[in-house]
Structure 1
Amino acid sequence: MKQFFKIQGIPSRINLFLMGFFLIASGLQAQTNLENDKKLNRETNKILKTAEEELGENDFASAEASYRKAVSKNESSATARYNMANMYYGKEKPAQATSRYKQAAKVAETKEDKHDVFHNMGNSYMDQKKYAEAIEAYKNALRNNPTDEQTRYNLALAKKMLEKEQQENKDQDDKKDDQKDKEKEKEDQNKDKKEDDKGEKDKKDEGDNKENEGGEKEKEPKKEPEKPDDKGEPKDQKQNKDEKGDQEKEQPQQPQPGQLSPQQIKNLLEAMNNEEKKVQDKINAEKAKGAKTKTAKDW
């Protein structure tokens, strides 16, 4: 036979009491946290408003200090970091802006906030000509808001700029390679020329050495150049010329073909004179025989 104990119901009532207590405590804590968050947000927004007013007055240093104060006050505030990044971007400090956009992206909660952060992050990368990073930022922005046509346009522009940059880099690399090839070719030509010049010099030196060696073996006294005589001719040349003239005098002149030699002419004249004398003698003999004596007559 089973026995029942009434005391079994007591723990159930205690548990219910404890559960109710914890629920009430949790609610009160949540309420407290909510109130604290609201208070923190009000204080943060107040600082951000001050920063915006200072920025509107072109007091950049004060605005920067206020934004830093807001970030330090509320580390989970994506708005504080986002607005601070926008301030740097407007002051043409894209690198600092990018750093703050990255911080804002980590704490942003809504898709709308994430889209805005990544979109502006892409713009800051574009200003730094970091097109690959800009493309990735715009893609993240479109993941959170695929309908934003401005983001889509910026993405296309970033891709086009990246392709242009890559082509320019390729052309520049090709140009550098061509320049290196030309420099190497010129260097090789200069090297070959130096080797050729060295070879020519070695050959010349070798020839000079041989001439010097020959000169040492057969040394001859230097001969002074002959002085010209009064007619401007060296003595040797004059002597040779005189000897040649004497030889020409001693040797009879040789007749040229078709001409009589002097001796032949002489012999011919003597023969003609002899013939003429014979004829004259004969005439004279005949006259002596039959002619009368006449006085001489001048012709």
Structure 2
Amino acid sequence: MKQITTLILVLIASFSFSQEMDKEQLLALKKANDYVYKANNLIGKEDFVSAEMAYRKAISKQPENIAGIYNLGNSYYSEGNFEEALYRLQEAAKNAATKAEKHKAFHNIGNALMQNKQCKEAVEAFKNALRNDPTDDETRYNLGIAKACEEQQKQDQKDDNKDDQNKDNEDKKDQDKNQDNKEDQDKKDKEGDNKEEDKKDEGDQDKKEGEDKKDEEGKPKDEKENKGKGDKDEDKQQPKPKPQPGQLSPQQIKSLLEAMNNQEQKVQEKMNAEKQKGIKVKTDKDW
């Protein structure tokens, strides 16, 4: 990098130039030059605060004083205040009247931009410096460094974009994978629910078939209530058994019992009659 140098303003006024300027302008120019000279001495003593104040006074006396603006920008650069240095140096380049002044301003603008990692802008600044002085090898060297810096930044940007793209692709793959897993899980859950529903339907169907089977076998739910009625119906429908040979029929047994009762009734009546006559009757049978 080219070392920052101060611009020592030397006032050379010709007799004809002095005649064209009025006294007030000459006085302002003289005071501005005095402040610049004082500030340059303070910079040599590394008293940047006092030097800054002196440069500002020079600019206030003559706002277009190129020496005051340029040297103030250089003082900011030396202090590491590159933003403020860039502002003042750009102002100096704008107000510069000669190519030499423009070359120095643009050269230092490029240096300030490089400090701010603004490589692309620094390339343009060094190019402008060379347009005003193509013979300066330092400016040409700094231009090469700025171009290399610009290419590196472009490559870094490409790599960052590639990394971002890869990250986006990975994130998308993860999202797709999670979505697929969710869909598979939902499908399994749905199949499980369907199986449970099928099992329930099968259970209901088996239960219904069992009830139908019971109905077909003659075992209704109100079996107890209809049991008596069913027995009566069975008695009515079942035919009476026929008497077997050597056995009395129920009707015969009934008639025999009635006859025995009648006979016993007659004997009892006879005994009562004999008793009334006072005749003792033997009731035991003899062997």
> Which of residues 182, 188, 199 in structure 2 aligns to 1:200?
188
Corresponding residue number in structure 2 for 1:113: 101
Corresponding residue number in structure 2 for 1:104: 92
Q: Report the TM-score, using the length of structure 2 for normalisation.
A: 0.63
Deviations 1:79-128 (A, max 9, x none): 11100000111111111111111111111112111111111011001111
Q: How many residues align?
A: 194
- The answer to whether residue 67 in structure 2 is matched with residue 79 in structure 1 is yes
Deviation at 1:164, TM superposition (A): 0.9
Q: Cα gap change, 1:29/1:157 in structure 2, threshold over 3 Å: closer, same or farther?
A: closer
In structure 1, C-alpha distance between the alignment counterparts of 2:187 and 2:146, rounded to whole Å: 61
- The answer to whether residue 166 in structure 2 is matched with residue 178 in structure 1 is yes
Aligned residue runs from structure 1 range 92-241, under 5 A: 92-219=80-207
Secondary structure (helix, strand or coil) at the match of 1:194 reads helix
Deviations 1:2-39 (A, max 9, x none): xxxxxxxxxxxxxxxxxxxxxxxxx9996151655443
Q: Cα gap change, 1:100/1:29 in structure 2, threshold over 3 Å: closer, same or farther?
A: closer
Deviation at 1:58, TM superposition (A): 4.0
Q: Cα gap change, 1:202/1:49 in structure 2, threshold over 3 Å: closer, same or farther?
A: same
Contact 2:66 2:96 in 1 (8 A): yes
Secondary structure (helix, strand or coil) at the match of 1:76 reads coil
Q: Report the TM-score, using the length of structure 1 for normalisation.
A: 0.60
Aligned residue runs from structure 1 range 47-58, under 5 A: 47-58=35-46
> Which of residues 18, 42, 53 in structure 1 aligns to 2:30?
42
Deviation at 1:51, TM superposition (A): 2.3
In structure 1, C-alpha distance between the alignment counterparts of 2:21 and 2:108, rounded to whole Å: 32
Corresponding residue number in structure 2 for 1:89: 77
Deviates more, 1:200-209 or 1:104-113: 104-113
Deviations 1:124-144 (A, max 9, x none): 011111112111111111111
Contact 2:69 2:92 in 1 (8 A): yes
Corresponding residue number in structure 1 for 2:272: none
The structure, 1 or 2, with the larger RCO (C-alpha pairs under 8 Å, 6+ apart) is 2
In structure 2, C-alpha distance between the alignment counterparts of 1:138 and 1:35, rounded to whole Å: 40
Amino acid of the structure 1 residue aligned with 2:80: E
Corresponding residue number in structure 2 for 1:62: 50
Secondary structure (helix, strand or coil) at the match of 1:88 reads helix
Deviations 1:38-77 (A, max 9, x none): 4333211211233234444444333222222211111121
* Seq. identity, %: 37
Secondary structure (helix, strand or coil) at the match of 1:147 reads coil
In structure 1, C-alpha distance between the alignment counterparts of 2:74 and 2:101, rounded to whole Å: 13
In structure 2, C-alpha distance between the alignment counterparts of 1:29 and 1:186, rounded to whole Å: 79
Task: Give ranges in structure 2 of 5+ residues lacking alignment.
Answer: 1-14, 211-287
Secondary structure (helix, strand or coil) at the match of 2:163 reads helix
Amino acid of the structure 2 residue aligned with 1:65: M
Deviations 1:273-299 (A, max 9, x none): xxxxxxxxxxxxxxxxxxxxxxxxxxx
Corresponding residue number in structure 1 for 2:276: none
Amino acid of the structure 2 residue aligned with 1:92: G
In structure 2, C-alpha distance between the alignment counterparts of 1:101 and 1:34, rounded to whole Å: 30
Task: Give ranges in structure 1 of 5+ residues lacking alignment.
Answer: 1-26, 221-299
Contact 2:29 2:61 in 1 (8 A): no
Secondary structure (helix, strand or coil) at the match of 2:174 reads helix
Corresponding residue number in structure 1 for 2:4: none
Deviations 1:164-212 (A, max 9, x none): 1101111111111011111101110110110011001100011011212
